[in-house]
Every structure is written in C-alpha cells, then in structure tokens.
Amino acid sequence: MIFVTVGMHTQGFDRLLKKMDEIAGTIDEEVVIQTGGSSYIPRNAKHFDFVTESEFRELCRKARVVVTHGAMTIVDALEQGTPVIAVPRLRQHGEVIDDHQLYLAQELAKQGKVEAVTDVEGLAEALARVGSGTVALVKDRRLVEALKRLLEEIGYGWGGEGKRVRRAWPSRVKIRMAGWVSRRYGAS
C-alpha cells in the first residue's frame, strides 16, 4: 500500500494529489490519500481528509512507502520504519511561502534518509525504485536534555532556593478572568 499525506495545512497540495491519483489508476497497488486541505477529490485512490493520530501512525506503519510533502510527516513515517518519498511544496507553484521544504528534502536526501522528488513526473519511477529497506532514524536526545536543563535553571531562579516568587499581576484579576476563560475556551 502507498500512503500519501500532505499535512494539516489549510492550503492543500493538489499538484501531488492529482499525480498520485493518476498513478493509482495505472498500478495494482492500493493508494490511500489523506487529502488534508486540498480541493482535488481523488477518483482512483481511497481517500479521506483527516484521521486521528493513532490511525495515522497505523497507516504509516502498514504502508510500503509514504509519499508526503517535506515536513514532520517524514519523521512520522521513518519512525514507523517506512521509506519516504518527499515531494516538497514549492514557492513557484504558490504552495508555500518559501522553499524551506525543498531545502529540507534535499538535505535529507543527501543523508540518504529520503527520496526527494521535486517534479511530480518523476514519481512513478521513484515509487518503483523505493524498496523495503528501512532507514535508521536515531532520536537526538540533546534537545530534550537541553530543555530539561533550561527549565531547571529557570525554576531555580524563580521561587526556588530562597528566592521570592514574583507575581506578575494581582490575583483578583485572575479570579475575575477565570470563569470567563473556561466558559469561552473550555479548558479540560
């Protein structure tokens, strides 16, 4: 199965969807598309707009290959051990504000983590080429550790170890606002 996903952005990615739907009509393999904010409605492929987090992960796991735009869905797929074809949204087609997805796809392709396809005409060939070999994705622990350290430092300076806790505004304001906020935005 080929899973195609274009993220949560309100702006869709019709260029990729049209091509993948066209390919779906020519091959035996099942093509499943999460259309997101796209306006194109696939005719040949199975499709839906969004699914829940767990269903999404399951689709990434089951797929032979995940075809996606150039963003965090790449990590979602690689984490499930599925090879990725990254098709970056491009500024020249008005799909995104700048070409950051192109730079990311190129960088990851250089590292051998994804197959980067900028021209959708090359998709059919790339789909045939991509094997089932898994890419080793090593989670970088440094950022988490750095954040932990930072929070500890801030906590120490703010109320820890004999320091006075600073109150940013009077508590009566807080009480007055509390009811309004919970009615309006429904915090759980």
Partner 1 sequence: MKVCLVCSHGGHLSEMLRLMEAFEGHEAFFITYDSIRTRQLQRRYLLHNIGKSPWRMLRAAIATLRILRRERPEVIVSTGSEIAIPAFYIARLFRMKTIFIESWTRVVQPTGTGRIVYPVSDVFLVQWEALLSRYGKKARYEGAIV
Interface ranges with partner 1 (CB under 8 A): 7-10, 50-53, 70-73, 75-76, 78, 97-101, 103-104, 107, 137-148, 150-151, 154-155, 158-159, 166, 168-169, 173-174, 177-178, 180-182, 184-188
Of the pair 5, 127, the CB lying nearest partner 1 is at 5
State the maximum Cα–Cα separation within the chain, in Å, rounded to a whole number.
71
Nearer to partner 1, 26 or 54 (CB): 54
Pick the closer one to partner 1 by CB: 119 or 152: 152
Cβ-based nearer residue to partner 1, 27 or 177: 177
Q: In degrees to the nearest 10, what's the CA dihedral of 78, 70, 65, 56?
A: 70
| Shortest distance (Å) from residue 155 CB to partner 1 | 5
Report the nearest approach of partner 1 to the CB of residue 143 (Å).
4
Min separation Cβ 89 and partner 1, Å:
11
Q: Taking the complex as a whole, how short is the minimal distance between the CB of residue 22 and partner 1, in angstroms?
A: 26
Q: How far apart are CA 69 and CA 118, in angstroms?
A: 10
- Burial zone of 18 (CB within 10 Å; 0-12 exposed, 13-18 middle, 19+ buried): middle
- The least distance separating partner 1 from the CB of residue 26, rounded to whole angstroms, comes to 31
Question: Shortest CA distance to 9 belongs to which of 96, 76, 116, 91?
Answer: 96
CA distances from 118 to 6, 69, 75, 87, 180 (A): 14, 10, 19, 6, 49
